Amino acid sequence: AGARPLAGQHVLVSAGPTREALDPVRYLTNHSSGRMGYALAAAAAHAGAHVCLVSGPTTLAVPAGVRRVDVQSAADMHAAVMAEIEAADVFIGAAAVADYRPADIATDKIKKSDGDAEIRLVRTRDIIADVARDYPRVFTLGFAAETTDMEAAARDKRARKGLTMIAGNVVGPNDAFGRDDNALFVVDAAGAQYYERDTKAALAERLIAQIAERLADKTGQ
């Protein structure tokens, strides 16, 4: 405990969007800026942890004391997380990972034709669900980004993915994505609590303090 409650712990964080290529010049993505994940990486480093940040494309600077691994696609992010997970005690999935990617990536730029076009999408692998299944000793904090029924969806995602903790947030044009503030609905085995609207930095510090407490309970410190 004390000022550096995560001293000696290894924390792996995913952040930002993924880019799923259609051809050499086009991709599918989402509005994640990476801010929530970067704030968590910074807070974990501040708490004394060794922090690795697996990041999709963002414009953010690497937080002090954090090692960053840059990725583009969901498949890249899956591989990078799996390459780092052996050393991790905590995995925080704040990235907005694409659930689907184009079935085919064209080698050359797709030409315009007179007719309409269709894109066939196939599922990507779920990174945090794979971590929870294959590394049950790792403390997993997932996020649930929802536009409706956020609380129920957050509880459901925590159960379905087998996560230790989940933080639900409402996303939309005026919420969560890109902004400096957010509000969270945090659920773990002990119950649910609201983190009222605050800066992502303050919310991240609260989440990291909560994780440190849970780890200390487990090891009886």
- Binding residues for ligand PMT, per CB under 6 A? 14, 32-36, 74, 93-97, 99, 124, 126-128, 142-145, 157, 169, 171, 176-178
143 is in an annotated binding site: yes
- How many separate helices (H) and strands (E) can be counted in the chain? 5, 12
Q: How many other C-beta atoms lie within 10 A of the C-beta of residue 91?
A: 27
- Taking the least distance from each CB to ligand PMT, the nearer of 144 and 212 is 144
Which is closer to ligand PMT, CB of 12 or CB of 144? 144
- The active-site residue out of 30, 169, 174, 182 is 30
218 is in an annotated binding site: no
Comparing CB distances to ligand PMT, the nearer of 14 and 210 is 14
Closest CA to 47 of 2, 106, 6, 105: 6
User: What minimum distance in Å lies between the beta carbon of 161 and ligand PMT?
Assistant: 6
Least Å distance between CB 26 and ligand PMT?
20
Minimal distance in Å, beta carbon 98 to ligand PMT? 7
Least Å distance, CB 131 to ligand PMT, is: 8
**At a CB cut-off of 8 Å and minimum separation 6, what does 219 contact?**
none
Residue 196 CA, chain-centre distance (Å), reads: 20
Encoded amino acid at 159, one letter: A
d(Cα 157, Cα 167) in Å, to the nearest integer? 10
Q: How far apart are CA 15 and CA 72, in angstroms?
A: 11
The reply to whether 89 sits in an annotated binding site is no
Task: For residue 214, give both structure tokens.
Answer: 């849970």
- Is 99 annotated in a binding site? The answer is yes
99 vs 217, beta carbon nearer ligand PMT? 99
CA angle 165, 170, 172 (to 5 degrees): 140
d(CA 146, CA 153): 7
Q: Alpha carbon of 123 to those of 97, 116, 169: distances in Å?
A: 11, 23, 23
Nearer residue to ligand PMT within complex by CB, 9 or 14? 14
C-alpha atoms less than 13 angstroms from C-alpha of 195 in its C-beta half-sphere: 25
Residue 30 falls in the annotated catalytic set: yes
Q: Would you say 109 is a known binding-site residue?
A: yes
Annotated binding site: 99, 109, 143, 157, 161
Catalytic residue numbers, as ranges: 30
Annotated binding site for CTP: 99, 109, 143, 157, 161
